[in-house]
Amino acid sequence: MLDLVFLGTGSGIPTPKRNLAAIWCRYEGECWLWDCGEGTQRQLFKAKLNFMKIDKIFITHWHADHWAGIIGLMQTMNLEKRTAPLTIYAPEAERFLGNILDLDYWGPRFKIKPVDVPYQGDAITVLHKTKTYQILSTPVQHGIPSVAYAFKEADTINVDIKKAEKKFGLKQGPAVGKLKSQGKLTYKGKTITLDDVGTVRRGIKVVYTGDTMVCDTVKTLATAADVLIHDATFGEEDIKETKHAHPEEVAKLAHAAGVNHLVLTHFSRRYTDVSDLVATAKKAFPKTLAATDYLHLAISDRGLTTTHLR
C-alpha cells in the first residue's frame, strides 16, 4: 500500500488553510517527498510524520512555492544529527542545490546527493528502482524546466504450481522463474503462458504533475494510473497565459488516459471555496476530489481510501 499525505495544496502564496506544495509518501517503510514548499517541515510536525525517515525529495521545478522548504528541513535534519544521506531529484538539481548550500554556514554533517532529472523531450525516465517499485519522470509544460513524477509498483505474478504440473508437467524451479519474467515458456514442446497457469496482479500507479499545462507527456505517464494528482490552479475564466491547468481540461485528460481517480491540487488563493472547480471537473470525470492540507490517501489494489490527519 502507498500512503500519501498532502502537506500543502495551495499555490504561490500560502493561506491560513493551504500551505505550499508538498506531498509526503510512504511505501514499505521508505519515505520521500514530492516537492517541498515553504513551511513543509512545520506541516510534517503537525501531521506527526517523522521527517528524519525521509531519504529522497523529488522537486518538480524551481519555483519557490515548490522548493523553499528544503533549506529549513535540511538544517533541522542537521541539528538532529542526521547521518543518513539525502537524495534530491530535480531538473538542474546539481546547479540549484549548489547555490542553496552556499547560502549559509551550516555545513551539513550528512551527504546531500543531487540527481539531475531530464526536462526536455517527451521520454519517460526511470529515476529510482527497487524490486517492488520504481519512480519515473517525464518533462511537462510550465515555461521553465519542469517534470512530473510517477510511482509504479511492480506487478505481482503468481503461478499455480499444482495446475502447472498437472496440465504441463511443469514443476517449481528455474523454468517457473522464466515464465514469470517472460510471460510465456516453451516446455517439453508446449507453449505455456501465464494465462494458462497463473495470475498477474497489476501494481498500483500514482502520478503527480507539479505545475503544468495539460500536455501529452502527462497523458502518457498517467495512462491507466490509479490516481492522478494534477495542477488545477485556476478556473477556465482565470487561466490566461499562466501555463497552469484548469479543472475541466484536466478532467478530460484523466478520462482520455484511463485514470481511476483524479485529485486536484495547487489551488490559487483567490478561491476560498473550490467546490465549483471540482463540480466543473466532475462533469467530465466523476471520480474527482479536491486535495486539502493533511488529506491522507491510502492506495492499494483494493482501491483508494481517504482520511484527514487534522
Which pLDDT score is estimated for 165? 74
Q: Which residues of 179-218 are buried (b: 16+ CB within 10 A; e: fewer)?
A: bbeeeebebeeeebebebbbeeeebbbbbbbbbbbbbebb
**85 CB contacts (<8 Å, ≥6 apart)?**
55, 110, 111, 112, 113
DSSP symbols for 93-127: HHHHHHHHHTT-S---SS-EEEEE---SSS--EEE
Residues paired with 54 in a beta bridge: 31
- Residues 152 and 205 sit within 8 Å (Cβ to Cβ): yes
| Residue 174: exposure state from Cβ atoms within 10 A (0-12, 13-18, ≥19) | exposed
The reported pTM is 0.92
**Helices assigned H by DSSP within the chain:** 40-46, 64-67, 69-79, 93-101, 161-168, 174-182, 194-197, 216-221, 247-257, 275-284
DSSP category for residue 202: P
Please indicate whether residue 65 is annotated as part of the active site.
yes
Which three three-digit cell numbers place residue 202?
Answer: 497489476
CA distance 267 to 245: 10
**Angstrom distance (rounded) from CA 210 to CA 61:** 8
pLDDT digit string (tens) for the chain, length 310 residues: 999 999 999 999 999 999 999 999 999 999 999 999 999 999 999 999 999 999 999 999 999 999 999 999 999 999 999 999 999 999 999 999 999 988 888 888 999 999 999 999 999 999 999 999 999 999 999 999 999 999 999 998 888 788 877 777 777 888 777 877 777 888 887 888 888 877 888 999 999 999 999 999 999 999 999 999 999 999 877 777 789 999 999 999 999 999 999 999 999 999 999 999 999 999 999 999 999 999 999 999 989 999 999 8
Helix, strand and coil content of the chain, in percent to the nearest 5, comes to 25, 35, 40
Residues 187 and 281: their CA atoms lie apart, in Å, by 51
Domain ranges of the chain: 2-155+202-308, 157-198
User: Counting beta carbons within 10 angstroms of the beta carbon of residue 42, is it exposed (0 to 12), middle (13 to 18) or buried (19 or more)?
Assistant: middle
Exactly one of 3, 55, 65, 116 is catalytic; which is it?
A: 65
Residue 141: CB partners within 8 Å, gap ≥ 6? 212, 213, 215, 217, 243
Architecture of the structural domain at 2-155+202-308: 4-Layer Sandwich (3.60)
- How far apart CA 168 and CA 92 sit, in angstroms, is 54
32 forms beta bridges with 25, 56
Give me the pLDDT at residue 204, please: 98
pLDDT score of 182: 77
